[in-house]
C-alpha cells in the first residue's frame, strides 16, 4: 500500500472515531423504504458501478464523488450492464461487474443502530493486487429541479424527489485483505487479516500486513434522517440467502 493510501486510511479512522452526533441527536430508527426495490442484499441490487463511482482512485486522496441520485442512476445507460452475484454461506451476497479483465464488487456488512450502511468493496484492475476497502454510506431524500420546458413552464422549482446515496468515507483494508467483518449496534468489528500478506498465509508478513489483530471501531456518526430500503437492518447471516 502506498504512503498516500495509508495516510488516507488513518485519516478516515480519525474522522470516524472523533465525529460527533448531529446537533446532539439521539439515534433514530431508520425508516424502511417500501416503495423502492433497490437493495444491497437482494435483487434488484444497487448496481456495483454506482458504488465504484463513489470510491476513490488509488492515485487520489480525499473525496471526489460523494453522492449519487439512486432513483435516476439505477437502470440508466450510465450504469447499464450485467450484474453477477456469488454466495458464501453465512454472508450477504457479493455483487459485482466484470469486464475487460477488471472487476469491482461489494458485499453488505450491515447497518449501524444510527443508520449508517457499511459495504465491503473489492477492486481488481487486472494485475496481481486486489484493493479492499470498507465504505460507509447513508441514504437520504432531497429535491432537485425537474426537466424544464421553456414553452410551458414559467417558474423553476425544486420539486423532483431524489434519493441520494451518500458516502461518508472509506477505510483502506489493504491488498488482498481477508477477514471477518460485522456490525453490532454502532460498532464495526474488523477481524484480523488472514489474506495473502498475513502471517498465516501467502508469502507475505511484511509491512502490508498491518491488520494482525481484531479491532472494534466505534462509528460515532448519527444521520439526522436515516433511511433503510429493503430492511437492511436484518443480517444475512441467518443461514438462508436473501
131-162 b/e (C-beta count within 10 Å ≥ 16 → b): bbbbbbbbbbeeeeeeeeeeeeeeeeeeeeeb
Taking the C-alpha atoms of residue 14 and residue 134, their distance in angstroms, rounded to an integer, is 15
Task: Pick the range with the lowest mean pLDDT from 33-42, 69-78, 124-133.
Answer: 33-42
Number of neighbouring beta carbons within 10 Å of residue 89: 8
Q: Is residue 136 part of a domain?
A: yes
What is the reported pLDDT for 176?
Answer: 83
Does residue 242 lie within any of the structural domains? no
pLDDT digits (tens, 9 = 90+) for 79-93: 888 899 999 888 999
Residues 29 and 57: their CA atoms lie apart, in Å, by 33
Output the pLDDT for position 34: 56
Please report whether residue 237 resides in a domain: no
Q: Are strands 181-184 and 187-190 parallel, antiparallel or unpaired?
A: antiparallel
Give the three cell numbers for residue 176: 488482498
Flag whether 235 is in a domain.
no
CB 40 within 8 A of CB 238: no
Q: How confident is the model at residue 59 (pLDDT cuts 50, 70, 90)?
A: low
Position 234 in a domain: no
All cell numbers assigned to 199: 502471517
Q: Tell whether 205 is covered by a domain.
A: yes
What tens digit of pLDDT does each residue of 184-240 get?
999 999 988 877 766 545 445 544 445 567 889 899 989 888 888 767 777 675 433
H-helix or E-strand spanning residue 48: helix 48-54
Q: In what order do the strands lie in the sheet with 215-218?
A: 181-184, 187-190, 215-218
| Residue 31 is assigned to a structural domain of this protein | yes
Say what the pLDDT of residue 126 is: 72
* Residue 53, domain member (yes or no): yes
Q: What is the pTM of this model?
A: 0.77
Report pLDDT for 157.
79
Number of domains the chain is built from: 1
Q: Can you give the pLDDT at residue 81?
A: 85
Which range of residues forms the domain containing residue 57? 3-146+154-229
Amino acid at each position: 500500500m502506498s504512503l498516500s493510501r495509508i495516510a488516507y486510511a488513518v485519516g478516515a479512522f480519525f474522522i470516524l472515531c472523533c465525529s460527533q452526533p448531529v446537533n446532539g441527536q439521539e439515534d433514530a430508527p431508520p425508516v424502511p423504504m417500501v416503495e423502492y426495490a433497490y437493495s444491497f442484499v437482494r435483487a434488484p441490487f444497487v448496481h456495483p458501478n454506482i458504488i465504484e463511482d463513489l470510491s476513490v482512485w488509488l492515485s487520489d486522496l480525499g473525496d471526489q464523488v460523494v453522492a449519487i441520485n439512486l432513483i435516476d442512476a439505477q437502470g440508466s445507460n450510465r450504469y447499464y450492464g450485467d450484474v453477477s452475484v456469488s454466495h458464501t454461506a453465512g454472508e450477504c451476497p457479493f455483487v459485482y461487474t466484470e469486464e475487460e479483465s477488471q472487476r469491482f464488487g461489494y458485499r453488505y456488512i450491515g447497518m449501524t443502530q444510527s443508520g449508517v450502511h457499511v459495504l465491503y468493496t473489492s477492486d481488481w484492475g487486472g494485475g496481481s493486487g486486489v484493493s479492499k476497502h470498507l465504505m460507509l454510506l447513508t441514504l437520504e431524500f432531497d429535491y432537485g429541479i425537474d426537466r424544464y420546458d421553456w414553452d410551458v413552464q414559467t417558474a423553476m422549482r425544486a420539486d423532483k424527489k431524489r434519493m441520494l446515496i451518500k458516502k461518508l468515507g472509506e477505510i483502506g483494508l489493504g491488498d488482498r485483505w481477508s477477514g471477518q467483518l460485522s456490525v453490532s449496534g454502532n460498532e464495526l468489528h474488523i477481524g484480523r487479516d488472514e489474506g495473502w500478506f498475513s502471517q498465516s498465509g501467502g508469502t507475505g508478513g511484511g509491512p502490508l500486513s498491518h491488520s494482525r489483530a481484531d479491532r472494534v471501531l466505534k462509528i460515532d456518526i448519527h444521520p439526522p434522517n436515516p433511511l433503510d430500503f429493503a430492511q437492511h437492518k436484518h443480517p444475512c447471516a441467518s443461514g438462508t440467502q436473501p
